[in-house]
Structure 1
């Protein structure tokens, strides 16, 4: 196992590389860390020479912003360049990490070695949540319970140093960015595999089922007119990379075998 540190704009970004096979990178989502990948990383390193990293303010990366989408994008680009460039890699991303890799792939003159998106990158015409639901989410992020969890993880490989307001603003930036995502998919030359959760919003209410259906519909609309996109679904929530690593691993390996 190899450890690297990429430095950009005041941040020290730790990168872990392990395994044998085609060079690949796994880009975590917002709130995701290397430590949370666990079994999925261990499984993927049997098939790939896999790199992954912690976004700034996450895990063992530097604490300190700015915590905005363009900054996370520039950090990701710096990591990919240090690993040989996005065109030389199999690109795998979860949630926000998928959005960041759609940006990277759309800017390439030719297809990357593979592009696998896990429950992210999906074009949306508007936020799935109502203003009231968004406000409730913002308040929950700033609750004493949320703050206590953040304090308990501080200084560990699982920490997320972003405040509730940081995360709320960043999620809004991601939502806005996804409104033009279809244009970026049209610029990607090559096959794309999308591994999507069936229960992104959970299963506990009629509203959750509505949101899950809206998420599925957005993916189906994207793929309907783009034969290069293959959609696979896992009966899991948005944290499927942690809760269902075996199923996700099987689908990634199948995508690679099919020419991703």
Structure 2
């Protein structure tokens, strides 16, 4: 049975961001990932609303949000900050849990590093991973272009506006290349290395729990899949060495775990919350 929800809009730079709110309990803000919408995450969101007052939204160019020119990480981060500013005006009695999947996990880590007092806890679902090397190399580009062209074509015919993603294959590729640099700190084009997202983690003193897939890139064992899966696990190991206080759960799943393992994710978040409150 679906939870009754409230709907409201947050406006930023001419972009109307649709936010939905429903459920009872501690506030939890859920940030979907790139090429994902709140419409697709219906099962997980409904499960979380049994234990939390959940607010979620669509990134610009996703679902019920309008398409925009030249999307980038800073634009998405600004949208998330605008949603959080609106949440701050709701008179909540507890600081919210921030949860995000994939790209959404990176957004909430970057936000929490700049606004630690606005955050209670973080739940990172298969994202915000400080991988030791970029996923995308020159050898990967032809295969990835083809994959994202197919994905973009499928999204154009998605069932219902709430599930549509209005990003081109070029935009998806550019956003993933940008994310590679933000995560690893390595820009192969200009041969520069920096701390990457690890630097953001160093600024966060809130509890963090990661829910990660064992086969992020799939389980076929072909092509780039084994390398990406190794990098994914190596990134988490790198992070835990730096921040041993971060707890981690692994699910036998691919990067689509928010859809395929919604029940497991909701259970982990619920049980983690119970442990953290004693």
TM range, smaller chain: over 0.9
**CA-CA distance at 1:126 after TM superposition:** 2.6
Question: Do the aligned residues in 1 keep the contact of 2:132 with 2:234 (CA within 8 Å)?
Answer: no
Determine which of 118, 130, 142 is the counterpart of 2:137: 130
5+ residue gaps in structure 2?
Answer: 186-195
Residues in 2 aligned to 1:77 and 1:41: alpha-carbon distance in whole angstroms: 21
Question: Do the aligned residues in 1 keep the contact of 2:98 with 2:108 (CA within 8 Å)?
Answer: yes
TM-aligned CA distance change 1:220 to 1:46, over 3 Å:
same
Aligned to 2:241: 224
Aligned to 1:214: 231
RMSD of Structure 2 on Structure 1 (CA): 1.9
1:92-118 residue CA offsets vs partner (Å, 9 max, x unmatched): 010010000001111134472111000
Aligned to 2:252: 235
Aligned to 1:141: 148
1:179-215 residue CA offsets vs partner (Å, 9 max, x unmatched): 2100110110122101001110111125423321221
Determine which of 157, 163, 181 is the counterpart of 2:168: 163
Q: Secondary structure, in 3 states, of the residue corresponding to 1:202?
A: coil
Instruction: Summarize the alignment of residues 9-88 of structure 1 with structure 2, pairs less than 5 Å apart.
Output: 9-84=13-88, 88=95
5+ residue gaps in structure 1?
Answer: none
Determine which of 128, 151, 156 is the counterpart of 1:121: 128
**CA-CA distance at 1:240 after TM superposition:** 0.4
Give the TM-score normalised by the residue count of structure 2. 0.87
Aligned to 1:2: 6
Residues in 2 aligned to 1:151 and 1:198: alpha-carbon distance in whole angstroms: 30
1:39-60 residue CA offsets vs partner (Å, 9 max, x unmatched): 1111100110000000011011
1:204-258 residue CA offsets vs partner (Å, 9 max, x unmatched): 1254233212211110111123122001111001010011101111111112112
Determine which of 172, 175, 178 is the counterpart of 2:180: 175
Q: Secondary structure, in 3 states, of the residue corresponding to 2:200?
A: helix
Residues in 1 aligned to 2:163 and 2:131: alpha-carbon distance in whole angstroms: 30
Residues in 2 aligned to 1:62 and 1:169: alpha-carbon distance in whole angstroms: 19
TM-aligned CA distance change 1:242 to 1:59, over 3 Å:
same
Note if 1:247 corresponds to 2:264. yes
Q: Secondary structure, in 3 states, of the residue corresponding to 2:163?
A: coil
Residues in 1 aligned to 2:250 and 2:132: alpha-carbon distance in whole angstroms: 22
TM-aligned CA distance change 1:140 to 1:209, over 3 Å:
closer
1:118-174 residue CA offsets vs partner (Å, 9 max, x unmatched): 0000112331233121232023323xx445413312862110101000111111111
Give the TM-score normalised by the residue count of structure 1. 0.93
Q: How many pairs are equivalent? A: 258
Q: Secondary structure, in 3 states, of the residue corresponding to 2:162?
A: coil
